[in-house]
Structures are given as structure tokens and as C-alpha cells.
A and B are shown apart, each in its own frame.
Chain A
Amino acid sequence: MKYIVLVVCLLLVSLAAGYWQDTTRPPATAQTGYGKAAIGGAFTLNDTNGTAFSDTNLKGHFSLIYFGFTHCPDICPTSLLNITHALEQLGAQGDDIMPVFVTLDPERDTQQVLHEYISHFHPRMVGLTGTAEQTKQIADAYKVYYSKTSLENSALSYTINHTGYIYLMDKNGEYLAHFAHDISDQALAQKISALIAH
């Protein structure tokens, strides 16, 4: 009888301990899980002033990162403008978010070209470019697919086919969320606001 009481007590204590640990979040179910996406990581590029910019520069504030290239006539400018408008709509919340544009075409998108290009978007937007190896390093870290593709019968000798997600990183420079390139500015602002509010 004593053993039964002891076992029951131990069981109750362990259950209570388990409840206490999990009280901060609901349990995982078949539809949800927990864990950090393996997106983000070490990289080193240069900003448009020629200053080195690495993953450590993402710490201390949120970051909204988009990968593209300046010879992209339609999608990239639209996405960058939506990012700009979303940050404006976020007001004070937006002040703590650094918008970043990383070129996947460092051959054509030099610091000078990028400097002019990003000046037409959010005033705090950082433009990053580097060597082919540095570009590959950040693309690999962010799981960005990109491919320099030769074009025949075109005034463009090549284009860059690529994935076009917008990445939200937290104040530790770690992945928070990603959004499709065609998300509207209003939807982007709403989703970011909800994610960084707590």
C-alpha cells in the first residue's frame, strides 16, 4: 500500500512538473511543431559604401531581407516597393526593422549601381554585394536558389533565375518568418506586426 501511495505521489509530481514546463505553450499536434528553421547564418558582403557587412550586423534589430538583382524589370522593384510601403505602414514598429537588399548578380550590381538603385526605396535600406563566393555563401545560408542563366537571342547576355522570398530575422539575426515575393504591402505589415509584437 505504501509503495502504491509512493508511486502515485511520484506520478502526480512528475505530471505536475511536466504541466509546468509545457504551460508556456500548447502541445505539439499533428499539424504544428516547434523548432527553428535552418535559415540564416554567417556571411560577409559589402554595403554600398564599401563597408563590410556581416551577419553580426543583423543583431540588435529586426531585419527584412530580399534577394534579387537590378536587371529584374518587374518582380524585384515591386517587392522592394512593397517592403518600403510595409515599413512605412508599421510606423514606430518599422523603425526597428532594417530592410536589406542582397544582389544575386554581383557582376552587374556593383556598389555604385546598387547605391543608386536602393536610393529609390526605403531610406534605411541596405544594399549588399560582394564576390561570387560571398554571394554563394549568403544564398546558401538563406536557402536561396539562384542560377545565372545565359540567354540566346537577347540583348541581355544572361538573367538570374531565383527564389524570391522575403525573410524576417529577429534581433539575434535568427530566422523568424518568410513571405512570398508577391505579398501586398498591407499584408506584409500586418504579419510583421503580429510577429514582432511579442
Chain B
Amino acid sequence: MPRLAAFLSIAAVSLFASATWAASPASVQVQDAYAYPNVSGSTVAAAFALLKNTSEMPCELTHASSNIATVEMHDMTESNGIMNMTPRSSIPLAAGARFSFAPGYSHLMLIDLKHDLAPDDHFTVLLDFGTCGTVHQDFVVKPRP
């Protein structure tokens, strides 16, 4: 009986721990990560990707960084023909939700690029999803269509 009690206690603790454990880093999938080249003469570029929260917990992109540039999350909205670019401090991702960084809309802005980006180049961006973990995501540079 004591062994059973011990076993049950350990099992209960384990279940409790797993329930409160942070979602694994694989909770947020990052797909179709790419960037367009910067225009030489300008040290900024835009990167895009699809984020999917595949967990049952809310996640939040709180920070992005790279060794090739300062990375910021920006919204691009158009109202009455006026285009407004606005930095965002975070991107919430509810359980099961998706968020798209896409041309003409939100983007990851690369600022003060250390070198020009050319088609077929690759670079890594560290995406920090807080308690949902971090993703070291490879981005490929594609030619602008």
C-alpha cells in the first residue's frame, strides 16, 4: 500500500507538473520564412513568415533578434489611402491561432543590415515566444516578384 501511495503521489505530481509546464518550443511552428533583398543604398529589409500556435496554450511573440540586423515587428495598415507603419511590442497567438507576416501587411523589419541581402542568402532569426519557447528560424532571401 505505501508503494501504491508513493506511486500515485509521484504520478499525481508528474501530471500536475506537466500541466503547468511551459508548452514545448515546438508549440509554435514557423513556416514559409523568407525575406526580400534590401535595395542597395538602403539598410532596411522586410521578412515574412507564417506563425502557427499548435498548442492548447496561448503564446506570444515577444522579441525577435538576428546577428545580421536589428529586428522589429511592424504592422503596415492602410486607411483612406494613407499607409502607416507601426512597431509592435508583441504578437499574441491564442491556442490554435495563426499570424501571418506578409507583403503589404505586417512584417519583421530588418534595420541597419550589416550587409546587403541577395537572393538565395540565408539568415537566422531568433523568435522568442516567451513561455512557449524560442525558435531559431532560418529565413531564405527570395527575389522580389
Contacts and interface: CB of A to CB of B under 8 A. Distances in A.
Contacts of B76: 74-75
Contacts of A77: 36, 39, 144
B40 interface: yes
Contact of B103 (A78, A145, A152, A162): A78
Contacts of A71: 42, 44
A81 interface: yes
Interface residues of B, number: 27
Given A161-B84, A162-B83, A153 B41 contact: no
B36 to A, nearest CB: 7
B104 A163 contact: no
Contact of A73 (B40, B83, B107): B107
B104 A117 contact: no
Contacts of B81: 145, 163-165
B62 interface: no
Interface in A66-125: 70-75, 77-78, 81, 113-117, 119-120
B18 to A, nearest CB: 36
Nearest to B109: A73
A163 B82 contact: yes
Nearest to B112: A155
Contacts of A81: 144
B39 A154 contact: no
B144 A155 contact: no
Contact of A156 (B83, B104, B111): B111
B89 interface: yes
A120 B89 contact: no
Interface in B72-129: 72, 76, 81-85, 87, 89, 103-104, 107, 109-112
A164 B84 CA distance: 11
Nearest to A154: B87
Contacts of B103: 74, 78
Contact of A155 (B39, B70, B84): B70
Contacts of A152: 87
Interface string B32-46: 000010111110111
A169 to B, nearest CB: 19
Contacts of B104: 74-75, 182
A117 B42 contact: yes
Nearest to B111: A155
Nearest to B72: A154
A172 interface: no
A161 B82 contact: yes
A118 B36 CA distance: 17
Contacts of A78: 36, 103, 144
> Which one of A78, A117, A119, A155 has the highest number of Cβ atoms from chain B below 10 Å of its Cβ?
A155
15 contacts: A70-B39, A70-B42, A75-B83, A114-B41, A116-B40, A116-B41, A117-B39, A120-B40, A151-B87, A154-B87, A155-B112, A161-B82, A163-B82, A165-B81, A181-B83
